[in-house]
Structure 1
Amino acid sequence: MVKFTSQHDILDERLLSGERGGRRMKRLGSTQVYLLAMVFIELTGMLIAEAWMIRAFLLLLVLTGGYTVWRIEVVRLEQKWDSKREQQEQDAHHKLIAVVNRLRHDWMNDTQILFGYIQMKKFDNLRPYMEKIKMTMQQESNLSKLGIPSFIAYLLHFRVQSKTLELNVEVEQEMNLGQLPLQDGLIERLVRQMVACIEAHTAFDEGECGTISLEFDVQEDGLLLDFVYQGPYNREQLEQSVNEQFESKDSRYSLEDVEWQEGEAGIALRLPFHT
Structure 2
Amino acid sequence: MIYWKNGYKAGERGERIMKQLGSAQVYILALVLIGLTGLLVTEPWIIRVAFLLIILVSGYTAWRLEVSRMEEKWRSTLKQQEQEDHLKLIAVVNRLRHDWMNDTQILFGYIQMKKFDNLRPYMEKIKMTMQQESNLSKLGIPSFIAYLLQFRVQSKALELNVEVEQEINLGQLPIGHGLIERLVRQMVACIQEHTAFEDGESGTLSLEFDVQEDGLLLDFVYQGPYKREQLEQSILTHFSSKGSQYLLENDDWHEEEASVTLRLPFHI
Q: Do they fold alike, i.e. is TM over 0.5?
A: yes
CA distance in 2, matches of 1:54, 1:74: 30
Secondary structure at 2:213 match in 1? coil
Q: 1:95 matched to which residue of 2?
A: 88
- Which of these residues, 60, 66, 70, is aligned with residue 67 of structure 1? 60
Q: Which residue of 1 aligns with 2:71?
A: 78
The residue that corresponds to 2:162 in the other structure is 169
What is the DSSP-based 3-state SS (H/G/I as helix, E as strand, rest coil) of the residue aligned with 2:242? coil
8 Å contact 2:11–2:80 — kept in the other structure?
no
Matched, 1:105 2:109: no
SS in structure 1 of the partner of residue 85 of structure 2: helix
The counterpart of 1:123, out of the listed 109, 116, 127, is 116
Moved over 6 A (4+): none
Please give the alpha-carbon distance, in whole angstroms, between the structure 2 residues aligned to 1:37 and 1:60.
15
1:225 to 204, 218, 226: 218
Paired AA for residue 273 in structure 1: F
Asked if 1:57 corresponds to 2:50, the answer is: yes
How far apart are residue 165 of structure 1 and its match? Answer: 0.9
CA distance in 2, matches of 1:104, 1:240: 40
Distance 2:103 2:70 in 1: 50
Aligned counterpart, 1:142:
135
SS in 1 for 2:37: helix
- Match of 2:252, SS state, is strand
Deviation readout 1:162-204 (Å, 9 max, x if unpaired): 0111110010111110011111111111101100110111111
C-alpha displacement of 1:247: 1.1
Letter in 2 for 1:238: L
1:27 maps onto 2:20 in alignment: yes
Deviation at 1:208? 1.2
Between the aligned partners of 1:14 and 1:122, the Cα distance in structure 2 is 49
Matching residue within 225, 232, 238 for 2:231: 238
Aligned residues: 268
Q: Corresponding residue for 1:271? A: 264
SS in 2 for 1:182: coil
Listed one character per residue, the Cα deviations across residues 239-262 of structure 1 (whole Å, up to 9, x for unaligned) are: 111111111223211211100001
Q: Is the aligned partner of 1:212 residue 2:205? A: yes
Shift of 1:102: 0.6
Match of 1:222, as an amino acid? G
Give, in angstroms, the shift of residue 157 of structure 1: 0.9
Question: 1:3: which partner in 2?
Answer: none
Q: Give the corresponding residue for 1:153.
A: 146
Structure 1 residues 83-92 or 33-42, which shifts more?
33-42
- Equivalent residue letter for 1:223: L
Equivalences for residues 195-206 of structure 1 within 5 A: 195-206=188-199
The code of the aligned residue for 1:179 comes to: Q
| Candidates 9, 32, 43, aligned match of 2:36 | 43
Deviates more, 1:158-167 or 1:250-259: 250-259
- Shift of residue 32, structure 1, vs aligned partner: 1.0
Cα drift, residue 74 of structure 1: 0.6
1:213-247, CA deviations, whole angstroms, 9 ceiling, x for partnerless residues? 00011111111110000011110110111111111
Structure-2-length-normalised TM-score? 0.96
How far, CA to CA, are the matches of 2:26 and 2:236 in structure 1? 53
The CA deviation string for residues 102-135 of structure 1, in whole angstroms up to 9 with x for no partner, is 1011111111111111111111111111111111
Distance 1:66 1:184 in 2: 45
TM-score, normalised relative to structure 1: 0.93
Deviation per CA, 1:69-95: give whole Å up to 9, x if none: 011101110111111101111111111
Paired residue type of 2:150: H
